[in-house]
A = this chain, B = another copy of it.
Amino acid sequence: MSQTVDRALSILPLLAEGPADLGQVADRLGVHKSTALRLLRTLHEHGLVFRQSDQRYRLGARLFALAQEAVENLDVREIAHPHLLALNEKCGHTVHLAVYEEQEVLYIDKVESRYPVRMYSRIGKPVAITVAAVAKLLLADFPEAERRAVAEKLDYPAYTSRSTPNAAAFLKELALVREQGWATDLGGHEESINCVGAPIRGADGRVVAAMSVSAPNVVVTAEELLRLLPLVRRTAEAISREYSGAVPDARNAL
């Protein structure tokens, strides 16, 4: 829509391929050298482009700073909330959103079940980290060494007979979760409550949050709850997409 800006922005992917000098930029843009120079200057003033010692242009630090700042100021909860509401509309059960922070997994959002029987949980409250589906999802994304380190430091309270008993079992479960891309908690925290969860990923593919649907046995059986898995995963993926900033569509030169 705006030719000048369009041209200027076209320089960025071009430089992402590697450093280039003025002539190369001008050629690939199909404009006069002087035009390319002025565009590069403007990009330079904004720090998006940088001139290395051999005079060639490169993408600059501000680009990274921007990306970083944007990520920091991103609020998963804000983005996820409407999706969680929609999911709750469809299935009626309690929906949770959780993140990992300072050795803990915390609920940061919750949509209450529309059934009379509700489960106990509170936003801001640490999750039972060894059994909760959301905790497994968040920890499963850690690099192997950290996973081991964390698993060994944890306590393994026997909430129920199905709670994760020890570090070895936990690590095995994490490996499974990591591979399949979703997690469950079948009566591991409270005998009568089951959960299915899926991860929410950032633009770099790393897990930034996890969501789950929970319901007591008296409302739906574990099998029925598992049937919601595709829906849960699709919701998580929708949130991931929006959180990451959508898909980059086909680029057309010039």
Binding site for B on A (CB under 8 A): 1-2, 4-6, 8-10, 12-13, 15-18, 38-39, 41-43, 45-48, 50-54, 58-71, 73-74, 79, 82, 143-146, 148-150, 203-204, 242, 244-249
Q: Is A42 in contact with B245, judged by CB distance below 8 angstroms?
A: no
Q: Oligomeric state, in number of copies?
A: 2
Interface SS of chain A: helix
Q: Is A246 in contact with B16, judged by CB distance below 8 angstroms?
A: no
Rounded to whole angstroms, the CA-CA distance of A67 and B12 in the bound complex is: 10
Rounded to whole angstroms, the CA-CA distance of A74 and B17 in the bound complex is: 9
Rounded to whole angstroms, the CA-CA distance of A139 and B61 in the bound complex is: 25
Q: Is B204 in contact with A68, judged by CB distance below 8 angstroms?
A: yes
> In angstroms, how far is the closest chain B Cβ from the Cβ of A175?
16
Rounded to whole angstroms, the CA-CA distance of A5 and B50 in the bound complex is: 16
- Chain B's closest residue to A79 (CB) is B52
The interface residues of chain B lying within 8 Å CB-to-CB of A50 are 245-246
